[in-house]
Amino acid sequence: MTGFATAGFLAMAGRSASAMTQAEARTLIGSVMNAVHEIINSARSEAQMMRDFEALFTRYGDIPVIARSVLGPPARSASAAQLNAFTEAFRGYMARKYGGQFRRFIGARADVTGARQVQSYWEVISTMTMRGEAPFEVRWHVSDRSGQHKFFNLIIEGVNLLAAERQEIGAMLERRGGSIDRLIQDLRSTR
Amino acid sequence: MPARTNRFLMLAAGLALVLVAACSPRPPGVEIHDPYEVTNRAWFENNLALDNAVLGDTTETSDSGLRRVVRNFGTNLSIPGSVVNNLLQFRPDRAIENTLRFAINSTVGIGGLFDPAGRMGLHGRRSDFGETLYVWGVHEGAFVMLPFFGPSTERDAAGMVVDAALDPFRFLLPGREHAATVAARLAAQLAERAEYGDLIDANVMQSADPYAQSRLLFLQARRYYLGEESEEYFIDPYAEFVD
């Protein structure tokens, strides 16, 4: 049983990963980093930057899949309307939270330094270099399983965004007695 | 070697052995092994209160220049300990890089107040006996929240005891001066905490469960640093949705 599932998964994984080339995966992340660089060095207002980040995540990130994965098992029992509302709220939350993080990288140099196949997707490795400090790695997980080339996870020096947000959203949901509607409400105003 | 030092070494080695032997192994497939969660959460709260009392409101960035000097000075003093561990890990390349960094920053950097080696791209790599234990094949053990020091693992906590005993300055300097180097290194840790305090605040303190969030971030970052990260915990959301 497990053997069948594994074999099926591997066959699917092989097909899907080969559909997207390493060069395509690297190009995607190169574009993302150029876009991030442009936003953080644009000297726009903070509110405008957050809107820019939201547009960036929408364009290059697979937000519906990220949102669903972060919500975890409760996503299965949620209605389509709830799932949509959650996805929208999560999009804004992610832009505010991680957009703010990216602003630390003002003046940093970012290079795509490698890519490797992991499970059924590509992991693209980028190196951030800030003056006078040791360079560090941001790794992007990239897939075309949505029909488009999109990233669905990033790992900053080992810290996995999907895992961290799954923990966080899980805790938020628990605090609200498992009510997805209240979670959506509060997520809209969470930094 | 004075008898006092000998006794201390024996005691530390014994304690570390007991700690390593008492390590509670993480069951396979479990990312977070936290059997002491109740105690850990209590220490987490205590540490927060202590941080607030000592560092005050971290949102106000007071004199970061001074903080950087304090950090540089203490960090430089921790390099010889890293070198000892590099050697115990059979990593001569890292030992050489750290030694070079120590030599440059101690001289050109005026006793380690400044970091010219970093400007030359020689960043070195901090190490400790927790990493040595990892290299030697000791398992991580349970997650622990240490008083003052914060998040750790049983393996790293055992390592800290050994690091205190192996500290090269213990053998090179008289007691009082050795104590001063320890104080300088602790001050550097505080300065670093103050410097990155706003980040930790932003990421962790505003989260729904700051303890759980900081535990996860610590374990992931530490495993990554050691090269112990497991792809098992990567997430493939596309595979999840094949219902």
What gap in Å lies between CA A25 and CA A141, rounded to an integer? Answer: 9
Low-confidence spans in chain B with pLDDT less than 50: 1, 243
Are A139 and A123 spatial neighbours (Cβ–Cβ below 8 Å)?
yes
Closest to A131 measured CA to CA, from A155, A106, A102, A101: A106
Partners of residue B233 in chain A, C-beta under 8 Å: 160, 163
Residue A153 within a domain = yes
Q: Is the pLDDT of residue A15 over 70?
A: no
For residues A15-29, give the mean pLDDT.
80
CB neighbourhood size of B83 (10 A): 21
**Complex-level ipTM:** 0.85
Compute the distance between CA of residue A108 and CA of residue B30 in angstroms, rounded to an integer: 36
The answer as to whether A1 is a domain residue is no
Q: What is the DSSP letter of B39?
A: H
Inside any domain, residue A50? yes
Domain of residue A170, CATH code: 3.10.450.710
pLDDT tens string B177-205:
999 999 999 888 888 777 665 555 667 88
Q: How far is CA B104 from CA B94, B109, B122, in A?
A: 15, 7, 10
Chain A partners within 8 Å of B119 (Cβ): 132
Give domain status of residue A64, yes or no: yes
User: By the 8 A CB rule, do B237 and A68 touch?
Assistant: yes
Percent of chain A exceeding pLDDT 70 equals 90
In sequence order, which ranges of B78-209 are alpha helices (DSSP H)?
Answer: 79-88, 92-107, 116-119, 129-135, 154-166, 168-172, 175-195, 197-200
| Helix/strand/coil percentages in chain B, nearest 5 | 65, 5, 30
Helix residue spans in A45-127 (DSSP H): 46-60, 63-71, 74-77, 80-102
- Name residue, tokens 């750790």: B152
The tally of domains found in chain A comes to 1
pTM: 0.87
Report d(CA B16, CA B155) in Å as an integer: 9
* A96/B46 Cα distance (integer angstroms): 30
Residues 107-126 of A with CB under 8 A from B: 118-121
Q: Which amino acid is at B97?
A: E
Please tell me the distance in Å from A57's CA to the nearest CA on chain B: 17
Q: Which segment of A130-134, A176-180, B3-7 scores lowest on mean pLDDT? A: B3-7
Answer whether A168 sits within 8 Å of B209, measured CB to CB.
Answer: yes
Burial classification of residue B240, based on how many CB atoms lie within 10 Å of its CB (0-12 exposed, 13-18 middle, 19 or more buried): middle
Q: Which pLDDT value is given to residue A6?
A: 46
Give the model's pLDDT for residue A14: 46
> Distance (Å, rounded) from C-alpha A40 to C-alpha A32?
12
- Mean pLDDT, to the nearest integer, of A25-37? 93
Name residue B224's amino acid: Y
**Of A167, A175, A191, Cβ closest to residue B216:** A167
Amino acid at A141: H
Is the model more confident about A24 or about B196?
Answer: A24
Helices (H), B108-149: 116-119, 129-135
Per-residue pLDDT, A106: 81
- Mean residue pLDDT of chain A comes to 87
Those of residues 35-94 in A touching chain B at CB distance below 8 A are 65-66, 68-69
Out of A59-73, A88-102, B188-202, pick the least confident. B188-202
The B-side interface with A (CB below 8 A) comprises 31, 115, 118-119, 123, 199, 202-203, 206-209, 212-213, 216-217, 220-225, 229, 231, 233-242
Q: Which domain holds residue A179?
A: 6-189
**CA A45, CA B174: separation in Å to the nearest integer?**
56
Assess contact for B74 and B191: CB atoms under 8 A: yes
For position B199, what pLDDT does the model report?
54
